[in-house]
Amino acid sequence: MTHRWLAIGVILFASTALEVRAELLAPELLWGPVVVGEGGSAYYLNDNVYAGSALGGRIDFGPYEQDRSGTVQNSLQVTGTAAAKSATRIGDYVYFTGNSSGVHRVQVANTATPWTTSMQCSGTDRMLETITSDGTYLYGSTTGAGGQIQAFSVNAETGALTEIWSTSGIEGRVRGLDWDASGYLYAVDGGGTTENAVNNSAILYAIAADTGAVTNMGVLTFNGRLYQTVREGNQIAVFNSYSGSEAAAGEMAVYDLASDTSLVSTTPVGVWDPEGIDRIYGAAIDNGVMWLAGANGVTCGYMVPEPSSCVLLLGGLVFGALCGLHRWRRAQ
């Protein structure tokens, strides 16, 4: 009878795999708080990770590169309106957004003097403040109320940007956005709600990266403003910058996806208050590590097991148990 009970246990274990996923993004502090640069706040990370390091920007300072241990490996201090709000890498260059003067870039590879001199990118008069990339194209928004999201091709030699498409129908204020390997960008237009109020609402959007077609994924309820949206596996995480006294200051809420363009529910499967940081303005996740950025240049790192990898791990354990059961039965 032992093998029957083992088989039942294996089946029950396997059946819990999808349920366990809902709890996989609970963050555990690894390092921080670490203050990057000097000046204003550290802003949109937009899930921009290159070779294991997150790329970000701090207002009144510039772009920076921070590794998985929290060490700032590289940075560029700039002046005036070129001060950064977000940064992403395409080819040998890190592109970053100025506070009010559009997109700039600095060469960081295949040069004897990386991270030393920046230049403004021509080709568009849009004053983008938040950007991300799929490694080839650049996506961004001015983050103004009712501001749309645009896609640009990038001239590798000159840095010139050429607009390919612009969305329509986004109603509120998009701040952070995330490009995902599924071929969609994700963003919430909750960046203009009242900072110290609870139970605000905004729309979550999926944007097709090839066409700019927008899908309304539903209305989310949250506190303060939603600054950042990140897709990880089959889940969406959003981060707020609440500054009042009725709830935690800066929370992370996680939603399960039914498809690339729909949620299982607009009720989160988990809400957490990450240790060490308040008023979250930026987030990035890569290989089980999450970077958060916020007010006064504070950054923190967390361990967050990824949904896909954890489900694969469960699948491997189930497979191993079944193999063991098969060998046990043959030995009888």
User: Following DSSP, what letter does each residue of 42-95 receive, concatenated?
Assistant: B---TT-EETTEEEEEETTTEEEEE-TTS-EEEE----GGG-EEEEEEETTEEE
Q: Among 69, 49, 46, 71, which residue's Cα sits nearest to residue 286?
A: 49
CA distance 329 to 323: 10
* pLDDT greater than 80 at residue 236: yes
DSSP state, residue 109:
S
Write down the pLDDT at residue 228: 97
* pLDDT greater than 60 at residue 22: no
DSSP state, residue 191:
T
DSSP state, residue 228:
E
| Domain residue spans of the chain | 25-304
CA distance 56 to 93: 14
- Write out the two tokens for 70: 């929290």
Taking only the tens place, the pLDDT of each residue in 161-202 is 999 999 999 989 999 999 999 999 999 999 888 989 999 999
* Average per-residue pLDDT for the chain: 87
* pLDDT greater than 80 at residue 331: no
Query: Which one has a higher pLDDT value, 62 or 2?
Result: 62
Write down the pLDDT at residue 83: 76
Write down the pLDDT at residue 144: 85
Q: Over range 264-274, report the average pLDDT.
A: 96
Angle between helices 2-15 and 307-331 (to 10 degrees): 170
* pLDDT greater than 80 at residue 14: no
Q: What confidence tier does 275 reach under pLDDT thresholds 50, 70, 90?
A: very high
CA distance 303 to 292: 11
Q: What confidence tier does 81 reach under pLDDT thresholds 50, 70, 90?
A: low
Write the CB contacts of 302 (distance below 8 Å, at least 6 apart in sequence).
27, 28, 29, 30, 274, 289, 290, 292
Q: Over range 6-10, report the average pLDDT.
A: 46
Q: State phi, psi for 137 to the nearest 5 degrees.
A: -100, 155
pTM of the predicted protein model: 0.86
Write down the pLDDT at residue 10: 43
Query: At the fourth CATH level, which superfamily is domain 25-304?
Result: YVTN repeat-like/Quinoprotein amine dehydrogenase (2.130.10.10)
3-state secondary structure of 18: helix
Helices (H), the chain: 2-15, 17-21, 307-331
Taking only the tens place, the pLDDT of each residue in 103-112 is 999 999 999 9
Q: Among 97, 160, 166, 108, which residue's Cα sits nearest to residue 132?
A: 97
Write down the pLDDT at residue 102: 86
Q: What confidence tier does 25 reach under pLDDT thresholds 50, 70, 90?
A: low
Q: Among 114, 117, 59, 51, which residue's Cα sits nearest to residue 86?
A: 59
CA dihedral 220, 224, 227, 231 (to 10 degrees): -30
